[in-house]
Structure formats: C-alpha cells, structure tokens
Amino acid sequence: MSFDSECIFCKIVAGEISSIQVYENSNTLAFMDINPIAYGHTLIIPKHHWQNLYEVPDDQLAHVLATAKRVATAISKALAPDGVSLVQANGKGAAQSELHFHMHIIPRTLGDDLKINWKLNPGNPDEIRSAAQRIIRVLR
C-alpha cells in the first residue's frame, strides 16, 4: 500500500488518527468530515495514497465511486435529505483541502444556500466549441 507519513488521511487509514467511520472495505474508507458543511457530511477515500484524480488508477477510482454510491444511498435513507451532492476537488485552484484523493458526500436540503452551486449563464457557443476542440485534441 502506498502511504504518505505526512498525510492525515493515510494516518486515518493506518489507525494513527481516529475517525468516525461509517463504512470500510479492502479498497476504501468512508468517515464523517470533522468540519461538516451539512449534517451527515461524509468523506470517501481510497486506502492507497494518491494526491488527486489524475493519479488514481481507473480500477481504484471505480472502487471509490462504488463506495460513494453505497454511502450516498445510506445517507439518503437514514437522513432523508432533499438531495445529495458529490464533490471532488483537484488542486489549490479547486480548493482541494487535503492532498489525498477524496470525495465529499454532502446531504442537501432545499434552500440550504451552500455555495457549491452556480447560476446557469449561457456561454459563448464559439468559446464552448473552442474548448471542446482543444480537449478532443488531447484525448486523441
């Protein structure tokens, strides 16, 4: 298992730091966020250390998403929120708070006014096409 001795999430996986765990399997761990933005805010992490989405192998990413689905379903049944947001950030510009890949499951209520939503503003079709073309060139 890859481990970063400075990473708080690796220390949680290793049992060096306590957490309020809600689910664990051989690949992932789900535990409550100690700085929740909503009641039931939960984190899903892979047990191996990868800093961000770009580093996580696809098969391990699938394990994280499967755990996120399982835990989000449990949150929905247990806490009956109006909805659930899955949030995952990569890098300082996206406000990634810990450099260990993780996904937030955030129970939502209508009118909660959490700032992870954005207003729908029509984009410039030429700029949208230009961005798409640049992305497609890299994907080829």
Give the whole-angstrom CA distance, residue 132 versus residue 45: 30
Specify the long-range contacts of residues 117-126, CB closer than 8 Å, at least 24 apart: none
Q: Which of 41, 63, 100, 102 is catalytic?
A: 102
Q: What region, left, alpha or beta, does residue 86 occupy, with left being phi > 0 and alpha being psi -120 to 50 degrees?
A: beta
Active site residue 100: no
Residue 104's identity, in one-letter code, is H
Distance between CA atoms of residues 59 and 36, nearest Å = 29
Catalytic residue list: 102
